Chains A and B, each alone.
Chain A
Amino acid sequence: MTDSRHHRQRILPEVGAAGQRRLQDASVLIVGLGALGSPVALYLAAAGVGRIGLLDDQRVELPNLNRQILYQDSDQGRPKVEAARDRLRALDPSVQLDAIVENFRPSNAGRLVPRYDLLVDGTDAFETKFLLNDAAILLDTPLVHGAALQWGGQVLTVLPGGPCLRCLFREPPDPGVVPSCEEAGILGAVTGVVGSVQAEEAIKILLGAGEPLRGRIFQHDALRAENRTVEFSRDPECPVCSRHPRIRDLARYAEQVSARGHVLV
Protein backbone atom coordinates (compact mmCIF):
# COMPACT_ATOMS: atom_id res chain seq x y z
CA MET A 1 0.00 0.00 0.00
CA THR A 2 2.37 2.69 -1.27
CA ASP A 3 -0.15 5.51 -1.25
CA SER A 4 -1.08 5.32 2.43
CA ARG A 5 -0.86 8.67 4.18
CA HIS A 6 2.36 8.16 6.14
CA HIS A 7 4.06 5.69 3.80
CA ARG A 8 7.03 7.93 2.99
CA GLN A 9 7.76 8.45 6.66
CA ARG A 10 7.21 4.83 7.71
CA ILE A 11 9.89 3.64 5.26
CA LEU A 12 12.52 5.79 6.97
CA PRO A 13 14.65 3.49 9.16
CA GLU A 14 14.55 6.22 11.84
CA VAL A 15 10.74 5.92 11.96
CA GLY A 16 9.46 2.55 10.78
CA ALA A 17 6.06 1.06 11.59
CA ALA A 18 6.80 1.17 15.34
CA GLY A 19 7.82 4.83 15.17
CA GLN A 20 4.73 5.77 13.21
CA ARG A 21 2.57 4.04 15.86
CA ARG A 22 4.45 5.95 18.56
CA LEU A 23 3.57 9.23 16.81
CA GLN A 24 -0.04 8.12 16.49
CA ASP A 25 -0.17 7.43 20.24
CA ALA A 26 1.57 10.70 21.15
CA SER A 27 0.17 14.04 22.26
CA VAL A 28 1.70 17.51 21.93
CA LEU A 29 0.58 20.83 23.40
CA ILE A 30 1.37 23.80 21.16
CA VAL A 31 1.35 26.93 23.30
CA GLY A 32 0.72 29.89 21.02
CA LEU A 33 -0.67 29.52 17.50
CA GLY A 34 1.00 32.40 15.77
CA ALA A 35 4.01 32.56 13.50
CA LEU A 36 5.89 29.67 15.16
CA GLY A 37 2.82 27.63 16.03
CA SER A 38 1.64 27.67 12.39
CA PRO A 39 4.38 25.51 10.85
CA VAL A 40 4.67 23.45 14.04
CA ALA A 41 0.98 22.54 13.98
CA LEU A 42 0.92 21.83 10.24
CA TYR A 43 3.99 19.58 10.31
CA LEU A 44 3.00 17.71 13.48
CA ALA A 45 -0.45 17.04 12.02
CA ALA A 46 1.10 16.01 8.70
CA ALA A 47 3.56 13.69 10.44
CA GLY A 48 0.74 11.82 12.15
CA VAL A 49 0.94 12.97 15.77
CA GLY A 50 -2.27 11.52 17.19
CA ARG A 51 -3.44 14.32 19.47
CA ILE A 52 -2.52 18.00 19.33
CA GLY A 53 -3.51 20.58 21.91
CA LEU A 54 -3.97 24.05 20.41
CA LEU A 55 -3.67 26.74 23.05
CA ASP A 56 -4.19 30.41 22.25
CA ASP A 57 -6.65 33.04 23.47
CA GLN A 58 -6.31 35.44 20.53
CA ARG A 59 -8.20 36.04 17.31
CA VAL A 60 -6.81 36.18 13.79
CA GLU A 61 -5.88 39.72 12.72
CA LEU A 62 -4.71 41.11 9.38
CA PRO A 63 -1.09 41.82 10.49
CA ASN A 64 -0.79 38.09 11.38
CA LEU A 65 -1.22 37.02 7.79
CA ASN A 66 2.22 37.98 6.50
CA ARG A 67 3.59 34.95 8.35
CA GLN A 68 0.89 32.88 10.12
CA ILE A 69 0.27 30.36 7.34
CA LEU A 70 -2.32 28.39 9.31
CA TYR A 71 -4.88 31.09 8.61
CA GLN A 72 -6.86 32.50 5.73
CA ASP A 73 -7.89 36.03 4.94
CA SER A 74 -11.49 35.06 5.76
CA ASP A 75 -10.44 33.90 9.26
CA GLN A 76 -9.94 37.49 10.46
CA GLY A 77 -11.81 37.96 13.73
CA ARG A 78 -12.14 34.24 14.46
CA PRO A 79 -10.47 32.64 17.48
CA LYS A 80 -7.12 31.26 16.32
CA VAL A 81 -7.75 27.83 17.84
CA GLU A 82 -10.97 27.45 15.82
CA ALA A 83 -9.43 28.54 12.52
CA ALA A 84 -6.39 26.34 13.22
CA ARG A 85 -8.61 23.35 13.96
CA ASP A 86 -10.41 23.74 10.62
CA ARG A 87 -7.13 24.04 8.71
CA LEU A 88 -5.52 21.02 10.40
CA ARG A 89 -8.64 18.90 9.91
CA ALA A 90 -8.52 19.70 6.20
CA LEU A 91 -4.98 18.35 6.14
CA ASP A 92 -5.81 15.22 8.15
CA PRO A 93 -9.36 14.63 9.44
CA SER A 94 -8.18 11.86 11.78
CA VAL A 95 -5.92 13.98 13.99
CA GLN A 96 -7.46 14.63 17.40
CA LEU A 97 -7.42 18.35 18.23
CA ASP A 98 -8.00 19.96 21.63
CA ALA A 99 -8.95 23.61 21.13
CA ILE A 100 -8.06 25.51 24.31
CA VAL A 101 -8.96 29.22 24.38
CA GLU A 102 -6.67 30.16 27.25
CA ASN A 103 -3.38 31.90 27.86
CA PHE A 104 -0.65 29.76 29.45
CA ARG A 105 -0.40 30.78 33.12
CA PRO A 106 1.01 29.39 36.37
CA SER A 107 -2.63 28.72 37.39
CA ASN A 108 -3.47 26.43 34.44
CA ALA A 109 -0.02 24.95 33.71
CA GLY A 110 -0.42 22.22 36.32
CA ARG A 111 -3.73 21.14 34.79
CA LEU A 112 -2.71 21.36 31.11
CA VAL A 113 0.86 20.06 30.96
CA PRO A 114 0.30 16.55 32.41
CA ARG A 115 -2.23 15.83 29.64
CA TYR A 116 0.52 15.93 26.99
CA ASP A 117 3.75 14.11 26.20
CA LEU A 118 5.54 17.20 24.93
CA LEU A 119 5.26 21.00 24.88
CA VAL A 120 6.13 23.33 22.02
CA ASP A 121 6.68 27.03 22.66
CA GLY A 122 4.95 29.14 20.02
CA THR A 123 4.54 32.20 22.24
CA ASP A 124 5.95 35.68 21.80
CA ALA A 125 6.13 36.90 25.40
CA PHE A 126 9.27 36.38 27.48
CA GLU A 127 7.42 35.70 30.72
CA THR A 128 5.44 32.90 29.04
CA LYS A 129 8.62 31.42 27.54
CA PHE A 130 10.25 31.29 30.96
CA LEU A 131 7.06 29.94 32.56
CA LEU A 132 6.95 27.17 29.94
CA ASN A 133 10.58 26.34 30.68
CA ASP A 134 9.91 26.22 34.42
CA ALA A 135 6.75 24.14 33.98
CA ALA A 136 8.61 21.70 31.72
CA ILE A 137 11.30 21.17 34.37
CA LEU A 138 8.91 21.02 37.34
CA LEU A 139 6.49 18.66 35.59
CA ASP A 140 9.16 16.52 33.84
CA THR A 141 7.76 17.18 30.36
CA PRO A 142 9.98 17.79 27.32
CA LEU A 143 9.76 21.27 25.81
CA VAL A 144 10.87 22.55 22.42
CA HIS A 145 11.60 26.24 22.86
CA GLY A 146 11.65 28.61 19.91
CA ALA A 147 11.85 32.36 19.45
CA ALA A 148 12.16 34.71 16.50
CA LEU A 149 12.54 38.44 15.93
CA GLN A 150 13.44 40.52 12.86
CA TRP A 151 15.77 38.32 10.77
CA GLY A 152 16.83 35.88 13.50
CA GLY A 153 15.63 33.07 15.67
CA GLN A 154 16.61 30.25 17.98
CA VAL A 155 15.52 26.77 19.06
CA LEU A 156 16.55 24.64 22.00
CA THR A 157 15.08 21.56 23.61
CA VAL A 158 14.59 21.12 27.33
CA LEU A 159 14.41 17.50 28.43
CA PRO A 160 13.47 16.43 31.98
CA GLY A 161 16.38 17.18 34.31
CA GLY A 162 17.69 19.99 32.08
CA PRO A 163 19.82 21.80 31.10
CA CYS A 164 17.19 24.44 30.41
CA LEU A 165 16.53 27.92 29.05
CA ARG A 166 17.53 29.45 32.41
CA CYS A 167 20.95 27.76 32.27
CA LEU A 168 21.63 29.91 29.19
CA PHE A 169 19.53 33.01 29.90
CA ARG A 170 19.05 33.21 33.64
CA GLU A 171 16.25 35.80 33.50
CA PRO A 172 13.98 37.34 30.89
CA PRO A 173 15.30 40.68 29.58
CA ASP A 174 14.11 43.79 31.39
CA PRO A 175 11.20 45.68 29.80
CA GLY A 176 12.29 47.73 26.81
CA VAL A 177 15.64 46.00 26.34
CA VAL A 178 14.37 43.78 23.53
CA PRO A 179 11.81 45.46 21.25
CA SER A 180 8.53 43.65 20.56
CA CYS A 181 7.77 41.92 17.29
CA GLU A 182 5.28 44.72 16.63
CA GLU A 183 7.96 47.41 16.99
CA ALA A 184 10.91 45.61 15.46
CA GLY A 185 9.22 43.60 12.72
CA ILE A 186 9.83 40.05 11.64
CA LEU A 187 10.45 38.28 8.37
CA GLY A 188 7.72 35.69 7.92
CA ALA A 189 10.04 33.07 6.47
CA VAL A 190 12.28 33.26 9.58
CA THR A 191 9.40 32.05 11.70
CA GLY A 192 8.95 29.27 9.14
CA VAL A 193 12.54 28.13 9.64
CA VAL A 194 12.35 28.29 13.44
CA GLY A 195 8.94 26.60 13.59
CA SER A 196 9.98 23.85 11.19
CA VAL A 197 13.11 23.13 13.23
CA GLN A 198 10.88 22.99 16.32
CA ALA A 199 8.64 20.48 14.53
CA GLU A 200 11.67 18.34 13.61
CA GLU A 201 12.80 18.37 17.24
CA ALA A 202 9.32 17.49 18.53
CA ILE A 203 8.99 14.53 16.16
CA LYS A 204 12.49 13.27 17.06
CA ILE A 205 11.75 13.40 20.78
CA LEU A 206 8.45 11.55 20.34
CA LEU A 207 10.27 8.92 18.26
CA GLY A 208 13.29 8.77 20.55
CA ALA A 209 15.41 9.17 17.41
CA GLY A 210 18.38 11.34 16.51
CA GLU A 211 20.20 13.95 18.55
CA PRO A 212 17.92 16.60 20.04
CA LEU A 213 19.11 20.14 20.83
CA ARG A 214 19.71 19.22 24.47
CA GLY A 215 22.40 21.48 25.89
CA ARG A 216 22.64 22.99 22.41
CA ILE A 217 20.98 26.03 20.88
CA PHE A 218 20.25 26.49 17.18
CA GLN A 219 20.77 30.08 16.08
CA HIS A 220 19.44 31.27 12.74
CA ASP A 221 20.35 34.54 11.00
CA ALA A 222 18.40 34.83 7.75
CA LEU A 223 19.93 38.18 6.76
CA ARG A 224 23.45 36.72 6.64
CA ALA A 225 22.15 33.23 5.90
CA GLU A 226 24.11 31.87 8.85
CA ASN A 227 22.98 28.86 10.85
CA ARG A 228 24.81 27.27 13.71
CA THR A 229 24.34 25.23 16.84
CA VAL A 230 26.22 26.19 20.00
CA GLU A 231 26.66 23.90 22.99
CA PHE A 232 25.97 25.09 26.50
CA SER A 233 26.28 23.38 29.83
CA ARG A 234 24.07 23.14 32.86
CA ASP A 235 24.31 26.12 35.20
CA PRO A 236 25.01 24.71 38.68
CA GLU A 237 23.19 27.77 40.03
CA CYS A 238 20.23 27.46 37.67
CA PRO A 239 17.14 28.71 39.54
CA VAL A 240 14.97 25.87 38.27
CA CYS A 241 16.94 22.81 37.09
CA SER A 242 19.93 22.79 39.50
CA ARG A 243 20.15 20.78 42.71
CA HIS A 244 19.00 23.68 44.84
CA PRO A 245 16.38 25.47 42.77
CA ARG A 246 14.58 28.62 43.90
CA ILE A 247 11.66 27.88 41.57
CA ARG A 248 10.13 24.72 43.02
CA ASP A 249 6.37 24.86 42.86
CA LEU A 250 3.96 26.13 40.21
CA ALA A 251 1.30 26.57 42.89
CA ARG A 252 3.58 29.10 44.61
CA TYR A 253 5.06 30.48 41.39
CA ALA A 254 3.99 34.06 42.13
CA GLU A 255 6.08 34.01 45.34
CA GLN A 256 9.11 32.68 43.51
CA VAL A 257 8.98 34.54 40.20
CA SER A 258 7.91 38.09 39.27
CA ALA A 259 5.06 38.78 36.88
CA ARG A 260 7.67 39.18 34.13
CA GLY A 261 9.38 35.89 34.87
CA HIS A 262 12.27 37.19 36.97
CA VAL A 263 13.32 35.05 39.92
CA LEU A 264 12.53 36.76 43.21
CA VAL A 265 15.45 36.86 45.61
Chain B
Amino acid sequence: MTVDRLNDEELERYARHLSLAEIGEAGQRKLKTARALVVGVGALGSPVALYLAAAGVGTIGLADHDRVRLSNLQRQIAHTTAGVGRLKVEEAARALGALNPEVRIETEPVFVSEANAMSVLSRYDVVVDGTDSFQARYLLSDAAYLLGKPLVHGSIFRIEGQVTVFLPGRGCYRCLYPEPPPPGAIEEARQVGVFAALPGVIGTVQAAETLKVITGSGELLVNRVLLHDAMAMTFREVRYRRNPACPLCGDHPRIRALVDYEAFVGSAAR
Protein backbone atom coordinates (compact mmCIF):
# COMPACT_ATOMS: atom_id res chain seq x y z
CA MET B 1 0.00 0.00 0.00
CA THR B 2 1.37 3.40 -0.87
CA VAL B 3 1.08 6.00 1.81
CA ASP B 4 1.14 9.72 1.38
CA ARG B 5 4.12 11.53 2.76
CA LEU B 6 3.60 13.27 6.08
CA ASN B 7 2.47 16.87 5.73
CA ASP B 8 4.22 19.80 7.38
CA GLU B 9 1.95 19.80 10.40
CA GLU B 10 2.52 16.08 10.95
CA LEU B 11 6.28 16.54 10.61
CA GLU B 12 6.10 19.10 13.43
CA ARG B 13 3.60 17.25 15.62
CA TYR B 14 5.56 14.00 15.51
CA ALA B 15 9.03 15.58 15.42
CA ARG B 16 10.19 13.75 18.60
CA HIS B 17 9.14 10.40 17.14
CA LEU B 18 10.65 11.15 13.74
CA SER B 19 14.01 11.72 15.48
CA LEU B 20 13.96 8.16 16.81
CA ALA B 21 15.94 5.93 14.43
CA GLU B 22 13.61 3.00 15.16
CA ILE B 23 10.54 5.00 14.13
CA GLY B 24 11.49 7.77 11.70
CA GLU B 25 9.22 8.81 8.87
CA ALA B 26 8.60 5.21 7.73
CA GLY B 27 7.48 4.21 11.22
CA GLN B 28 5.31 7.28 11.61
CA ARG B 29 3.57 6.41 8.33
CA LYS B 30 2.96 2.88 9.63
CA LEU B 31 1.36 4.41 12.72
CA LYS B 32 -0.78 6.65 10.52
CA THR B 33 -2.22 3.73 8.54
CA ALA B 34 -2.58 1.43 11.56
CA ARG B 35 -5.88 0.42 13.14
CA ALA B 36 -5.71 -0.33 16.87
CA LEU B 37 -8.62 -1.51 19.03
CA VAL B 38 -8.74 -0.69 22.74
CA VAL B 39 -11.25 -2.92 24.55
CA GLY B 40 -12.24 -1.32 27.84
CA VAL B 41 -11.83 2.44 28.18
CA GLY B 42 -11.34 2.56 31.93
CA ALA B 43 -8.23 2.52 34.11
CA LEU B 44 -5.96 0.86 31.54
CA GLY B 45 -7.74 2.00 28.39
CA SER B 46 -7.42 5.68 29.39
CA PRO B 47 -3.61 5.95 29.21
CA VAL B 48 -3.42 3.43 26.34
CA ALA B 49 -5.84 5.44 24.20
CA LEU B 50 -4.32 8.82 25.10
CA TYR B 51 -0.77 7.75 24.23
CA LEU B 52 -1.80 5.96 21.02
CA ALA B 53 -3.71 9.07 19.92
CA ALA B 54 -0.81 11.35 20.84
CA ALA B 55 1.54 9.10 18.86
CA GLY B 56 -0.61 9.39 15.75
CA VAL B 57 -2.09 5.90 15.41
CA GLY B 58 -4.36 6.62 12.45
CA THR B 59 -7.50 4.80 13.55
CA ILE B 60 -8.31 3.92 17.14
CA GLY B 61 -11.32 1.79 17.99
CA LEU B 62 -12.76 2.18 21.47
CA ALA B 63 -15.03 -0.60 22.73
CA ASP B 64 -16.85 -0.28 26.06
CA HIS B 65 -20.51 -0.36 27.02
CA ASP B 66 -20.08 1.35 30.39
CA ARG B 67 -20.85 4.88 31.44
CA VAL B 68 -18.49 7.11 33.44
CA ARG B 69 -19.01 6.93 37.21
CA LEU B 70 -17.67 9.37 39.77
CA SER B 71 -15.65 6.57 41.41
CA ASN B 72 -13.85 5.97 38.06
CA LEU B 73 -12.20 9.39 38.16
CA GLN B 74 -9.67 8.40 40.81
CA ARG B 75 -7.71 6.59 38.04
CA GLN B 76 -9.46 6.89 34.64
CA ILE B 77 -7.70 9.96 33.30
CA ALA B 78 -9.44 10.10 29.91
CA HIS B 79 -12.68 11.03 31.69
CA THR B 80 -13.94 14.17 33.42
CA THR B 81 -16.42 15.11 36.12
CA ALA B 82 -18.74 16.61 33.50
CA GLY B 83 -18.76 13.25 31.73
CA VAL B 84 -20.24 11.32 34.66
CA GLY B 85 -23.23 9.36 33.40
CA ARG B 86 -22.15 9.50 29.75
CA LEU B 87 -20.83 6.64 27.62
CA LYS B 88 -17.11 6.08 28.19
CA VAL B 89 -16.40 5.62 24.49
CA GLU B 90 -18.02 8.96 23.66
CA GLU B 91 -16.14 10.75 26.43
CA ALA B 92 -12.81 9.18 25.52
CA ALA B 93 -13.38 9.91 21.81
CA ARG B 94 -13.87 13.55 22.72
CA ALA B 95 -10.62 13.61 24.76
CA LEU B 96 -8.60 11.90 22.02
CA GLY B 97 -10.00 14.16 19.32
CA ALA B 98 -9.09 17.23 21.37
CA LEU B 99 -5.54 15.94 21.86
CA ASN B 100 -4.99 14.96 18.22
CA PRO B 101 -7.63 15.90 15.63
CA GLU B 102 -5.63 13.99 12.97
CA VAL B 103 -6.64 10.66 14.51
CA ARG B 104 -9.84 8.86 13.50
CA ILE B 105 -11.78 7.45 16.43
CA GLU B 106 -14.31 4.63 15.99
CA THR B 107 -16.59 4.09 18.97
CA GLU B 108 -18.06 0.68 19.69
CA PRO B 109 -20.50 1.23 22.59
CA VAL B 110 -21.03 -2.50 23.05
CA PHE B 111 -20.24 -5.14 25.63
CA VAL B 112 -17.64 -7.24 23.79
CA SER B 113 -18.79 -10.86 24.08
CA GLU B 114 -18.60 -14.12 22.16
CA ALA B 115 -21.54 -12.82 20.11
CA ASN B 116 -19.66 -9.86 18.58
CA ALA B 117 -15.94 -10.21 19.38
CA MET B 118 -14.95 -11.78 16.04
CA SER B 119 -16.63 -9.08 14.00
CA VAL B 120 -15.34 -6.21 16.17
CA LEU B 121 -11.74 -7.48 16.41
CA SER B 122 -11.56 -8.42 12.72
CA ARG B 123 -11.64 -4.75 11.75
CA TYR B 124 -8.34 -3.94 13.50
CA ASP B 125 -4.62 -4.78 13.15
CA VAL B 126 -3.79 -4.97 16.86
CA VAL B 127 -5.93 -5.37 19.98
CA VAL B 128 -5.24 -3.93 23.44
CA ASP B 129 -6.89 -5.51 26.49
CA GLY B 130 -8.05 -2.82 28.90
CA THR B 131 -10.78 -4.95 30.47
CA ASP B 132 -11.20 -5.98 34.09
CA SER B 133 -12.68 -9.49 34.01
CA PHE B 134 -11.35 -12.99 33.46
CA GLN B 135 -14.16 -13.71 31.01
CA ALA B 136 -13.01 -10.83 28.82
CA ARG B 137 -9.32 -11.82 29.04
CA TYR B 138 -9.99 -15.36 27.80
CA LEU B 139 -12.44 -14.06 25.21
CA LEU B 140 -10.02 -11.50 23.76
CA SER B 141 -7.14 -13.98 23.75
CA ASP B 142 -9.19 -16.65 21.96
CA ALA B 143 -10.64 -14.19 19.45
CA ALA B 144 -7.27 -12.54 18.71
CA TYR B 145 -5.64 -15.94 18.16
CA LEU B 146 -8.44 -17.21 15.93
CA LEU B 147 -8.19 -14.01 13.85
CA GLY B 148 -4.38 -14.02 13.80
CA LYS B 149 -4.12 -10.61 15.54
CA PRO B 150 -1.52 -9.51 18.08
CA LEU B 151 -3.01 -8.86 21.55
CA VAL B 152 -1.38 -6.56 24.10
CA HIS B 153 -2.57 -7.87 27.45
CA GLY B 154 -2.56 -5.84 30.65
CA SER B 155 -4.24 -6.28 33.99
CA ILE B 156 -4.19 -4.71 37.42
CA PHE B 157 -5.13 -5.95 40.84
CA ARG B 158 -4.97 -3.63 43.88
CA ILE B 159 -1.30 -2.57 43.90
CA GLU B 160 0.01 -4.98 41.27
CA GLY B 161 -0.17 -5.22 37.52
CA GLN B 162 1.15 -7.18 34.56
CA VAL B 163 1.75 -6.80 30.83
CA THR B 164 2.54 -9.30 28.09
CA VAL B 165 2.07 -9.52 24.33
CA PHE B 166 0.43 -12.52 22.69
CA LEU B 167 1.52 -13.01 19.08
CA PRO B 168 -0.46 -15.71 17.28
CA GLY B 169 1.41 -19.02 17.62
CA ARG B 170 3.77 -17.69 20.31
CA GLY B 171 1.53 -18.35 23.30
CA CYS B 172 -1.83 -17.08 24.53
CA TYR B 173 -3.65 -16.28 27.77
CA ARG B 174 -4.58 -19.98 28.09
CA CYS B 175 -0.87 -20.96 27.89
CA LEU B 176 -0.22 -18.56 30.77
CA TYR B 177 -3.36 -19.44 32.75
CA PRO B 178 -4.72 -22.83 31.55
CA GLU B 179 -7.49 -22.76 34.17
CA PRO B 180 -9.63 -19.85 35.30
CA PRO B 181 -9.19 -18.86 38.94
CA PRO B 182 -10.95 -21.16 41.40
CA PRO B 183 -14.40 -19.95 42.46
CA GLY B 184 -14.16 -17.43 45.28
CA ALA B 185 -10.33 -17.46 45.34
CA ILE B 186 -9.99 -14.18 43.53
CA GLU B 187 -12.05 -11.14 44.26
CA GLU B 188 -13.29 -9.53 41.12
CA ALA B 189 -11.21 -6.48 40.26
CA ARG B 190 -14.40 -4.39 40.32
CA GLN B 191 -14.79 -4.82 44.06
CA VAL B 192 -11.25 -4.28 45.34
CA GLY B 193 -9.22 -1.13 45.69
CA VAL B 194 -6.92 0.22 42.99
CA PHE B 195 -3.85 2.36 43.55
CA ALA B 196 -4.38 5.52 41.46
CA ALA B 197 -1.23 5.68 39.32
CA LEU B 198 -0.77 1.90 38.90
CA PRO B 199 -2.91 1.68 35.74
CA GLY B 200 -0.81 4.54 34.37
CA VAL B 201 2.33 2.42 34.58
CA ILE B 202 0.66 -0.71 33.16
CA GLY B 203 -1.32 1.16 30.49
CA THR B 204 1.66 3.15 29.22
CA VAL B 205 3.77 -0.03 28.98
CA GLN B 206 0.88 -1.50 26.95
CA ALA B 207 0.87 1.63 24.76
CA ALA B 208 4.63 1.34 24.17
CA GLU B 209 4.26 -2.36 23.23
CA THR B 210 1.42 -1.52 20.85
CA LEU B 211 3.53 1.16 19.13
CA LYS B 212 6.37 -1.40 18.84
CA VAL B 213 4.00 -4.00 17.35
CA ILE B 214 2.82 -1.47 14.75
CA THR B 215 6.26 -0.12 13.84
CA GLY B 216 8.05 -3.47 14.14
CA SER B 217 10.65 -1.98 16.46
CA GLY B 218 12.47 -3.38 19.46
CA GLU B 219 11.90 -6.55 21.41
CA LEU B 220 8.31 -7.20 22.41
CA LEU B 221 7.14 -8.60 25.74
CA VAL B 222 6.47 -11.91 23.97
CA ASN B 223 6.87 -15.07 26.08
CA ARG B 224 7.60 -12.75 29.02
CA VAL B 225 5.19 -11.27 31.56
CA LEU B 226 6.21 -8.03 33.22
CA LEU B 227 5.01 -8.00 36.85
CA HIS B 228 4.96 -4.69 38.70
CA ASP B 229 4.30 -4.08 42.40
CA ALA B 230 3.69 -0.37 43.06
CA MET B 231 4.15 -0.53 46.84
CA ALA B 232 7.41 -2.53 46.80
CA MET B 233 8.33 -0.69 43.56
CA THR B 234 9.59 -3.86 41.93
CA PHE B 235 9.56 -4.99 38.31
CA ARG B 236 9.97 -8.72 37.69
CA GLU B 237 9.76 -10.76 34.56
CA VAL B 238 8.43 -14.31 34.28
CA ARG B 239 9.03 -16.31 31.11
CA TYR B 240 6.47 -18.64 29.59
CA ARG B 241 6.11 -20.58 26.38
CA ARG B 242 3.38 -21.66 24.07
CA ASN B 243 1.90 -24.75 25.70
CA PRO B 244 1.89 -27.66 23.20
CA ALA B 245 -1.17 -28.98 25.06
CA CYS B 246 -2.99 -25.62 24.89
CA PRO B 247 -6.57 -26.24 23.77
CA LEU B 248 -6.43 -23.02 21.70
CA CYS B 249 -2.94 -22.63 20.21
CA GLY B 250 -1.38 -26.02 21.05
CA ASP B 251 -0.44 -28.86 18.72
CA HIS B 252 -3.90 -30.42 18.82
CA PRO B 253 -6.32 -27.56 19.33
CA ARG B 254 -9.85 -28.28 20.45
CA ILE B 255 -11.09 -24.70 20.49
CA ARG B 256 -11.85 -23.60 16.94
CA ALA B 257 -14.51 -21.01 17.73
CA LEU B 258 -15.38 -18.79 20.67
CA VAL B 259 -16.97 -20.54 23.66
CA ASP B 260 -19.29 -19.50 26.50
CA TYR B 261 -16.95 -17.52 28.75
CA GLU B 262 -19.43 -17.05 31.57
CA ALA B 263 -19.71 -20.83 31.78
CA PHE B 264 -15.95 -21.35 31.38
CA VAL B 265 -14.86 -18.92 34.09
CA GLY B 266 -17.86 -19.60 36.29
CA SER B 267 -20.07 -17.15 38.01
CA ALA B 268 -18.33 -17.70 41.37
CA ALA B 269 -15.24 -15.87 40.14
CA ARG B 270 -17.16 -12.84 38.92
Chain A positions near chain B (C-beta within 8 angstroms)? 2-15, 39, 42-43, 46-48, 62-63, 65-69, 71-74, 90-93, 150-151, 181-190, 192-193, 195-197, 199-201, 203-204, 209-213, 216, 218, 222-225, 227-229
Stretch with Cβ within 8 A of A (4 or more), from B135-143, B199-207, B250-258 = B199-207
Q: Do A200 and B198 touch (CB < 8 A)?
A: yes
Instruction: Report if A69-B50 is in contact (Cβ < 8 Å); known contacts: A3-B69, A225-B218.
Output: yes
Q: Give the residues in chain A near B192, CB-CB below 8 Å.
A: 8, 11-12
Instruction: Report if A69-B201 is in contact (Cβ < 8 Å); known contacts: A12-B159, A229-B234.
Output: no
- Total CB contacts across the A-B interface at under 8 A: 238
CA of A10 to CA of B74 in the docked complex: distance in angstroms? 10
* Tally of contact residues, B, Cβ under 8 A: 68
Q: Do B231 and A209 touch (CB < 8 A)?
A: yes
Minimum C-beta distance from B226 to chain A (A): 6
Q: Do A199 and B200 touch (CB < 8 A)?
A: yes
CA of A190 to CA of B81 in the docked complex: distance in angstroms? 27
Minimum C-beta distance from A205 to chain B (A): 11
Instruction: Report if A6-B13 is in contact (Cβ < 8 Å); known contacts: A43-B200, A203-B196, A225-B219.
Output: no
Sample of 9 more A-B contacts, CB < 8 Å, known A8-B194, A71-B99, A185-B23: A7-B71, A8-B75, A9-B193, A43-B197, A65-B54, A188-B17, A200-B233, A224-B218, A227-B237
Q: Do A212 and B20 touch (CB < 8 A)?
A: no
Q: Mark B136-171, 1 if CB is under 8 A from A, else 0.
A: 000000000000000000000011000000000000
Is B183 an interface residue when CB atoms closer than 8 A count as contact?
A: no
Q: Mark B119-148, 1 if CB is under 8 A from A, else 0.
A: 000000000000000000000000000000
Name the residue among B73, B197, B233 with the largest chain A CB count within 10 angstroms.
B197
Tell me which of A15, A63, A73, A223 contacts B99 (CB under 8 A): A73
Instruction: Report if A196-B98 is in contact (Cβ < 8 Å); known contacts: A14-B159, A229-B235.
Output: no
Q: Give the residues in chain A near B51, CB-CB below 8 Å.
A: 67, 69, 188-189, 192
Q: Give the residues in chain B near A228, CB-CB below 8 Å.
A: 235
Which 8 interchain pairs have the tightest Cβ spacing? A185-B19, A196-B200, A192-B204, A12-B193, A210-B231, A47-B196, A227-B235, A199-B197
Minimum C-beta distance from B63 to chain A (A): 21
Q: Do B233 and A218 touch (CB < 8 A)?
A: yes
Q: Give the residues in chain B near A181, CB-CB below 8 Å.
A: 16
CA of A33 to CA of B61 in the docked complex: distance in angstroms? 29
| B214-228 interface (Cβ within 8 A of A) | 217-221, 224, 226, 228
Is B4 an interface residue when CB atoms closer than 8 A count as contact?
A: no
Minimum C-beta distance from B54 to chain A (A): 5
Q: Do B208 and A200 touch (CB < 8 A)?
A: no
Is B9 an interface residue when CB atoms closer than 8 A count as contact?
A: yes
Minimum C-beta distance from A140 to chain B (A): 22
Q: Do B71 and A3 touch (CB < 8 A)?
A: yes
Minimum C-beta distance from A232 to chain B (A): 14
Q: Do B99 and A69 touch (CB < 8 A)?
A: yes
CA of A181 to CA of B198 in the docked complex: distance in angstroms? 26
Give A221's nearest chain B residue, CB to CB: B218
Give B208's nearest chain A residue, CB to CB: A189
CA of A223 to CA of B23 in the docked complex: distance in angstroms? 11
Query: What would be 29 A-B contacts, judged by CB atoms less than 8 Å apart?
Result: A4-B71, A8-B71, A8-B193, A9-B195, A47-B197, A62-B13, A63-B16, A65-B100, A66-B13, A66-B54, A67-B51, A68-B54, A73-B99, A90-B80, A91-B73, A92-B73, A93-B81, A151-B20, A182-B19, A183-B19, A187-B20, A187-B208, A190-B208, A200-B195, A200-B200, A218-B235, A222-B218, A223-B218, A225-B224
